Amino acid sequence: MPSASSLTSIRDVLAALRGRRRLRVLGAEGGFLGLLLARAATDPEAKGPLVYVARDEASARAAAADAGFFLGLSARESAALDGPVVVVPENEASPYGDAATDPRVLAQRLGALYRLQAADAERPRLIVIGLRSLTRKVIPPATFARLCRRWRRGGEIELEEASAALVAAGYQRVDVVEDPGTFAVRGGVVDVYPAIGRFPVRIELFGDEIERLRLFDPDSQRSLREVEEVVIHPVREAIAPPLAQLRPAILALADHIEVPSSRTRQVLDNLEQGLDFFGEEALTPVFH
């Protein structure tokens, strides 16, 4: 049995975090881990958000729920992307396989990334991430920031410009917006569902002026309440730059790993037409 002097207290952990010192903590799990994370995340002397790396996504979500409990959050609030606790979900599909990634998972991952690079007032207090999710390559911060938009009531934007910005950020155009990462255009109205919001937003334009922004229920499509702004962020991890920039690198890579020329032409054609295809995420290092 360990001696009293060898036991690590929450106070010891907080002191180590404040001084950015390495500290080995054993046996921190379950409710105690949740309490430890909650205390560390809300430490007034903390120098930024706390990041906890769990062994897998299930452990990450359990730790986030336990920490949320001690922060006074409901289970739903602990799992939301716009709260003080953010879980970065895992993309289980291999970037080299022929299985499509759930677009909702991608939207949630990119929504979590937005919270990480946002201004201090918008950043979460606690970020929980599984080991596999941590090692997955993502969009570089500069590229991510370039694709973000913040549209406010009273601002101006052309309808075609709005559509182009959403497509560039990976949003899928649909007839009816029901899922994160989708948008629709009807007349002078743009419906869009950013992953960081709990509801989609209806943008009503009067000419080029944003006259009104309203949250709406994705099931009933009925308006809920007005808001002052909406934040648009990328919802795909593989966002390709113009093909002219990519072609030499893709041709060189295909030649190096001996990809059949027919397959290379198919990839180039898909990129030129802006089409999604299996294995696209494997090209993320080439894109960026």
Give the pLDDT of the chain (288 residues) as one tens digit per residue: 343 344 467 888 888 788 777 777 777 788 889 998 999 898 888 777 889 999 999 999 999 999 999 999 888 877 777 888 999 988 876 666 666 667 778 878 888 888 888 777 778 889 999 998 888 878 888 888 888 999 999 999 999 999 999 988 888 899 999 988 899 999 899 999 987 878 999 999 999 999 999 999 999 999 999 999 999 988 887 777 766 677 887 888 777 778 788 888 887 787 776 666 666 776 777 776
205 and 159 both lie in a single domain: yes
Given 138, 168, 192, the domain boundary residue is 138
Q: Which domain holds residue 189?
A: 150-232
- Looking at residue 56, what is its pLDDT? 92
pLDDT attached to residue 27: 72
Residue 1 in any domain: the answer is no
The answer on 134 and 157 residing in a single domain is: no
Residues 54 and 21 in one domain: yes
48 and 159 share one domain = no
DSSP letters for the chain: ---GGGPPPHHHHHHHHHTT------S--HHHHHHHHHHHHT-TT-SS-EEEEESSHHHHHHHHHHHHHHTT--HHHHH-TTSSEEEE----S-TTSS-PPPHHHHHHHHHHHHHHHS-GGGS-SEEEEEHHHHTS----HHHHHHH-EEEETT-B--HHHHHHHHHHTTPEE-SS--STTEEEEETTEEEE--TTSSS-EEEEEETTEEEEEEEE-TTT--EEEE-SEEEE----S-----HHHHHHHHHHHHHHTT--HHHHHHHHHHHHHT---TTGGGGHHHH-
CA atoms of 192 and 203, how far apart (whole Å)? 8
Same domain? For 63 and 28 the reply is yes
Are 132 and 101 members of one domain? yes
Judge if pTM exceeds 0.95.
no
Considering the domain architecture, whether residues 24 and 133 belong to the same structural domain is answered as yes
In a domain, 60, yes or no: yes
Are 33 and 130 members of one domain? Answer: yes
Residues 24 and 132 in one domain: yes
In a domain, 87, yes or no: yes
Predicted local confidence at residue 275, as pLDDT: 63
pLDDT number for residue 3: 38
14 and 130 both lie in a single domain: yes
Domain check: are 134 and 165 in the same one? no
In the chain, how many domains are there?
3
CA angle 213, 216, 222 (to 5 degrees): 120
Final residue before a domain boundary, out of 117, 138, 159: 138
Residue 145 lies in a domain: no
Angle between helices 30-41 and 10-18 (to 10 degrees): 40
Q: Is 219 found in the same domain as 126?
A: no
